[in-house]
Amino acid sequence: MRVFLNGQEMPFAEGGYKYVFIKPYEKHVREKIKKAHGELHLQLYDNGIQIRTLVTPEEVSTLINREIAVDTKNNQVYILEADTKYKKNDDGSIEIL
């Protein structure tokens, strides 16, 4: 199965990736829309973040309306804010500065 995040292909991770929000949220809404070709998952958060994921038998494609940093060591996706600074370590982990 192919996995895409904001247009970039990523390695498949059993169990998926965990989202880490730099700006916390209090409320969110999730909706799943089933179509003939797959499912569209919408996640809307009160901090302005929107996550859209299309799941088909061949691939999973996710769009997040923020810049992201992917921690491949710990299978985490950091959802960044405009002023967030981070460092990617040699082992694939991410360190928020």
Q: Report the pLDDT value the prediction gives residue 13, as an integer from 0 to 100.
A: 85
**Residue 92: how many CB atoms within 10 A of its CB?**
13
pLDDT in tens, 25-62: 999 999 999 988 899 999 999 999 999 999 999 999 99
Q: Where are the domains of the chain?
A: 2-96
Range of weakest confidence among 7-21, 39-53, 77-91: 7-21
* Of 57, 32, 30, nearest in space to 46 by CA: 30
Residue 12 has pLDDT above 90, yes or no: no
What is the pLDDT confidence band of residue 11, given thresholds at 50, 70 and 90? confident
5 or 14, which is more confident?
5
Beta strands 68-71 and 59-64 are unpaired
Residues 6+ apart with CB under 8 A from 65: 48, 49, 50, 51
